[in-house]
Structure 1
Amino acid sequence: MSFTRFYQRDRPAPADLRLADLLGMLSRALDITEGQPEGHCIRCAYIGTRLGQNIGMNGTDLADLYFTLLLKDLGCSSNAARICSLYLADDISFKRDFKTIDDSLGAALRFVFAKTGLESGLSERFRALVNILQNGQKISRDLIETRCQRGADIAGQMRFSMAVQDGIRALDEHWNGGGKPDGLAGAAIPRNANIALLAQVVDVFHTEAGPDAAMAEVTARACKWFAPDLAQAMAELGAEPAFWATLSRPDIADIVFALPPAHQGAPVTEDYLDDIAQAFAAVIDAKSPFTADHSSRVTLYTDIIAEELGLKPDHRRWLRRAALLHDLGKLAVSNQILDKPGKLDPDEWAAIKSHSLHSERLLAQVAAFADIAPIAGAHHERLDGKGYPYGLVGDQICLETRIVTTADVFDALSAERPYRAAMPLAKVFEIMEGDIGTAFDGACVVALQRGLARLNARAA
């Protein structure tokens, strides 16, 4: 067994990576959270960038638009728990279907009655519907404001310009002032935001029903949702059969990453990779109030163990990224399951267990993080073979995975969860010590105890 086999695998140097490729592949995680077919943000980047080119955008302005399109859904996880709580509905399918309605009162009411509390008791559903009917405008505005502001903040954390941040923040503003959260109208809406919204509508309806349906929506929402000149420019673009043919190609990602603005992103350094991993960890942790800061804490505990075990600084840095992104696949799991206070049924438990495979698959598509994908995929494995998803045994589990597993379970036990209160640390370690050799590597557990004691001594 080689404890460092993943770390020693050939890895692309940051200088060989492009920001567009990196973020484009990570955007697939955002698609899943929004209930969209994989590649939604990438297709939106193609639609919106082509539209921007057709209206004369270039240089920095076009690059800002391009990254706004790729990252428009950065805040998508931040309102998921609230949607489940208010509408008693699966947040992922709710978000998917919400993108297909217009802003008319009739459409909104039909949507609310069709989606709210279908699997809940009659009294629960009635109370939820009454609350939504009485406070619907405020609920909708708050949900969109949380999502858009959170997305803009994360874009800032990832070093993007104010133009990109403003484009994400104003994504749901409408040309006629009927959008949210601020009711901006006309030229007050950032150009990037209005193009991104148009591109989103085009992709959703094109994917569901084809070009004619997409263009019908653009026509119906012109001067209401979209600037008149953008709707006209989209009509001209949509008249080109080659545009739709390209949008449907299986290699659309390669085409999008070859567009001119893809070459204008900031250089990807090791420090920038750390920032991007930290930003996506924030997206993951925003999914549930019970996992707030979970990834950051697991990263801290992972680094404590790694330091105690004598891993070198560059090895520890690489492992911190694995810890930050180990739960990326939780974005594919509904909050109805993640936040359920009671016992999970077999289907719900299967959905929870699928998150590690989702993490591995998503990270494997990203050149910069492909070598940490196996760690994310295996962080719920056990030494006795009773873990998931692969049932790995003993030496099949590398040291890096053992470290992240120990850190992950320690945080899960010591933090509050929907089904129980946080445990005292003495009880946490009593449980973990009882599972040494079956679930945990004893050296990792001892290293965590020793490292936490050292930190406490320093604090004292």
Structure 2
Amino acid sequence: MNTRSLSLATLIATLSRALDLTEGEPLGHAIRSCWIGMQLGEALSLGEDERHELFYALLLKDAGCSANSHQVSEWFGTDDRSAKYELKSVNWSRLSHAVRYAVAQTKPGAPWRERLTAIANIARRGPQAARTLVEMRCTRGADLVRELGWVSLAPDAVLNLDEHWDGSGQPRGLRGHEIPLLGRILSLAQTVEMFWSRFGPEAARDVARSRRGSWFDPELVDAWLSMSADDTLFTQLAALNLPHQIASYDPKPRSLPWDDHAVLLPIAQVFADIVDTKSSWTASHSWRTAHYAKSLTEILGEPPALQEAALLAGLFHDLGKLGVSNLILDKPGPLSPAERAAIETHPQMTYTLLEPLVPLHMIAEGAAAHHERLDGTGYYRHLKGPHIPYLGQIVAVADVHDALAHARPYRRALSTEDVLAIMRSDRTTKLSPDVFDALEWGLLNQPERFVPTA
């Protein structure tokens, strides 16, 4: 394996698993949806450029997944990821199905009076509620894909992911060929993958057959039924989980030097935005943490390569939080032991998500170590002192500074003086003294370094 370069397809496929996490899907959902969609593209004899756009649209179809997480959690009073997971198997264009879903998902386990009040509040929102949630997700997703700068058709496909052939979809109610072809492929590919993964091959055929002409383009359904008639396709699908397995399906492959930040940085920024959008309390947190981490390496006199690595580690450090319920992230009071345990899984998940990117191993290690502490009281590996990656020690100081300096649901933002006082008490016991000293010197002597420019 070449550890000095990075396949763009492998990079995006790897990061697509973070989107699976947010949607409550098993890791690899987007990868398998991509494989199904690329088979359909091949069956339709799409050209190379269209298949290239389709490839990235399929992997990034859920880029807007976090945009409505807070609303889903707040409206339904439940884990946003489980609510999204259950919705995927519901024919929500039918009122009776939508009502059953709302009743089942709203405040499960709460007293019936409380549940009925919440259900009534959702009912008062009417069909506009579904339109709002889909529009937030699809519009934000399209905008983020567009920000990457090297795709042109993919954003429109993501925007129209939830439109239906008969006009019953969201958010614009497009019908038939008004829906871009790539968007129609995305819709079918993700649905059959989900029904296959939950219920098996026949369910994947049945859902396409039953929604032919309502949700799905009849021509695409016919192509799917033809290619899936042989169970060999599902055997191949079951073996497909890892990012490098799908990378070869990009018809215009691109290899990036591992330090090509001109391409890598915008991708990291997009995924940082996805993380920070999940909760209003962490808006721009990843970008600020990354900026602070880079500023700290500059003050410490580290070489440019380490400065850029700190920037990327800061952008990626909370990637695993996409797997944490908004009921926890937005909770205004103290966390229960179970909730604390759940949130403490996020650094390990960050590492799991980044691990396949061998050329970025140092960045993955540093990002995942941002909650480790010198005395071993941190998590998730409970590392001590010099065993904590240096990059992790830098991101840890940057992360603590930003968390204290900005409001959280359980407390106000703190002044620079208060932040430094709290952090100073942890100097040498929990936080690197050298890195803390760099932060203190910078805040007191060059505060402009700690004002993010983007």
- Per the TM alignment, residue 449 of structure 1 is displaced from its structure 2 partner at its CA by 2.1
Query: 1:246 is matched with which residue?
Result: 236
**Do residues 174 (structure 1) and 149 (structure 2) align?**
no
- Per the TM alignment, residue 399 of structure 1 is displaced from its structure 2 partner at its CA by 2.5
Q: Deviations over 1:266-323 (max 9, x none)?
A: 8563310111111111111111111110001101111121111001112101111001
What is the alpha-carbon distance in structure 2 between the residues aligned to residue 189 and residue 329 of structure 1? 33
What is the alpha-carbon distance in structure 2 between the residues aligned to residue 265 and residue 145 of structure 1? 32
What is the alpha-carbon distance in structure 1 between the residues aligned to residue 242 and residue 296 of structure 2? 42
**Do residues 54 (structure 1) and 43 (structure 2) align?**
yes
- Per the TM alignment, residue 243 of structure 1 is displaced from its structure 2 partner at its CA by 1.5
Query: 2:138 is matched with which residue?
Result: 148
**Would you say the 8 A contact 2:83–2:105 is kept in 1?**
yes
**Local SS of the residue matching 1:53:** helix
What is the alpha-carbon distance in structure 1 between the residues aligned to residue 134 and residue 381 of structure 2? 39
**Do residues 380 (structure 1) and 383 (structure 2) align?**
no
**Would you say the 8 A contact 1:77–1:147 is kept in 2?**
yes
**Local SS of the residue matching 1:283:** helix
What is the alpha-carbon distance in structure 2 between the residues aligned to residue 274 and residue 459 of structure 1? 19
- Per the TM alignment, residue 365 of structure 1 is displaced from its structure 2 partner at its CA by 1.6
1:61-460 paired onto structure 2 within 5 Å: 61-102=50-91, 103-250=93-240, 253-259=243-249, 261=251, 263-265=252-254, 269-456=260-447
**Local SS of the residue matching 2:382:** coil
- Per the TM alignment, residue 373 of structure 1 is displaced from its structure 2 partner at its CA by 1.5
**Would you say the 8 A contact 1:304–1:447 is kept in 2?**
no
**Would you say the 8 A contact 2:367–2:391 is kept in 1?**
no
- Per the TM alignment, residue 242 of structure 1 is displaced from its structure 2 partner at its CA by 2.2
Q: Deviations over 1:108-156 (max 9, x none)?
A: 0000000001244555433321121121311111111111111111111
Q: Which amino acid aligns with 2:376?
A: G
Q: Return closer, same or farther for 1:123/1:422 CA change in 2, 3 Å cut-off.
A: farther
What is the alpha-carbon distance in structure 1 between the residues aligned to residue 109 and residue 330 of structure 2? 16
**Local SS of the residue matching 1:387:** coil
What is the alpha-carbon distance in structure 2 between the residues aligned to residue 431 and residue 420 of structure 1? 15
- Per the TM alignment, residue 245 of structure 1 is displaced from its structure 2 partner at its CA by 1.6
Taking structure 1 as the reference length, what is the TM-score of the superposition?
A: 0.93
Q: Which runs of 5+ in 1 are unaligned?
A: 1-9
What is the alpha-carbon distance in structure 1 between the residues aligned to residue 327 and residue 109 of structure 2? 11
Q: Return closer, same or farther for 1:60/1:267 CA change in 2, 3 Å cut-off.
A: farther
- Per the TM alignment, residue 211 of structure 1 is displaced from its structure 2 partner at its CA by 1.1
Q: Return closer, same or farther for 1:170/1:459 CA change in 2, 3 Å cut-off.
A: closer
- Per the TM alignment, residue 162 of structure 1 is displaced from its structure 2 partner at its CA by 2.7
**Local SS of the residue matching 2:310:** helix
- Per the TM alignment, residue 160 of structure 1 is displaced from its structure 2 partner at its CA by 3.6
Pairing partner for 2:16 from 20, 27, 30? 27
RMSD: 1.9
Query: 1:7 is matched with which residue?
Result: none
**Local SS of the residue matching 2:407:** coil
Q: Return closer, same or farther for 1:45/1:459 CA change in 2, 3 Å cut-off.
A: closer
- Per the TM alignment, residue 452 of structure 1 is displaced from its structure 2 partner at its CA by 2.6
- Per the TM alignment, residue 454 of structure 1 is displaced from its structure 2 partner at its CA by 3.8
**Would you say the 8 A contact 2:369–2:389 is kept in 1?**
no
Q: Return closer, same or farther for 1:309/1:167 CA change in 2, 3 Å cut-off.
A: same
Q: Return closer, same or farther for 1:310/1:260 CA change in 2, 3 Å cut-off.
A: closer
Q: Return closer, same or farther for 1:331/1:251 CA change in 2, 3 Å cut-off.
A: closer
What is the alpha-carbon distance in structure 2 between the residues aligned to residue 394 and residue 458 of structure 1? 27
**Local SS of the residue matching 1:17:** strand
Q: Which amino acid aligns with 2:24?
A: G
Q: Which amino acid aligns with 2:192?
A: V
- Per the TM alignment, residue 227 of structure 1 is displaced from its structure 2 partner at its CA by 1.0
Shifted more, 247-256 versus 438-447: the winner is 247-256
What is the alpha-carbon distance in structure 2 between the residues aligned to residue 302 and residue 217 of structure 1? 48
Q: Return closer, same or farther for 1:41/1:250 CA change in 2, 3 Å cut-off.
A: closer
**Would you say the 8 A contact 1:36–1:96 is kept in 2?**
yes
**Local SS of the residue matching 1:384:** coil
Q: Which amino acid aligns with 2:36?
A: I
Q: Deviations over 1:338-391 (max 9, x none)?
A: 111111111110001000110111111223433212112211111111111122
Q: Return closer, same or farther for 1:46/1:218 CA change in 2, 3 Å cut-off.
A: same
What is the alpha-carbon distance in structure 2 between the residues aligned to residue 415 and residue 438 of structure 1? 24
Q: Which runs of 5+ in 2 are unaligned?
A: none
What is the alpha-carbon distance in structure 2 between the residues aligned to residue 192 and residue 61 of structure 1? 8
Q: Which amino acid aligns with 2:419?
A: V
Q: Which amino acid aligns with 2:354?
A: L
What is the alpha-carbon distance in structure 2 between the residues aligned to residue 230 and residue 393 of structure 1? 56
**Would you say the 8 A contact 1:364–1:371 is kept in 2?**
no
Taking structure 2 as the reference length, what is the TM-score of the superposition?
A: 0.95
What is the alpha-carbon distance in structure 2 between the residues aligned to residue 252 and residue 12 of structure 1? 17
Q: Which amino acid aligns with 1:406?
A: V
